[in-house]
Amino acid sequence: MKAITANRLRDGEVVFLGKDGVWVESFAEAALFQRSEADAVLADAKAKAEREQFGVDIYAFEVVDEDGVPVPATMRERIRTAGPTVRLDLGKQAA
């Protein structure tokens, strides 16, 4: 599976493409795509986000299943879903 992510231009927040093409801040709300369809969805999302000047650095990343829960496959993406690692009182992990 794959998810699609970007950085929102307005504030630099990490966002994920959710259901119905709406960008969401929580990875738990991110839409997951089969690898075979991810490239087409990514191309559409990228074109729309760039046209609307919504986000930058838009790409798809691998998601794996851990005990029935989808999680990013790489440490980089796990950090991006949680927030900065230097202070746990900041970012998404502070919530």
Q: What are the DSSP calls for 20-84, one per residue?
A: GG-EES-GGGB--B-HHHHHHHHHHHHHHHHHTT-EEEEEEEEEEEETTEEEESSHHHHHHHH--
pLDDT in tens, 57-91: 999 999 999 999 999 999 999 999 987 777 777 77
Res. 37 pLDDT band, cuts 50 70 90 = very high
Res. 17 pLDDT band, cuts 50 70 90 = very high
Would you say the pTM of this structure is higher than 0.75?
yes
Confidence at residue 83, expressed as pLDDT on a 0 to 100 scale? 74
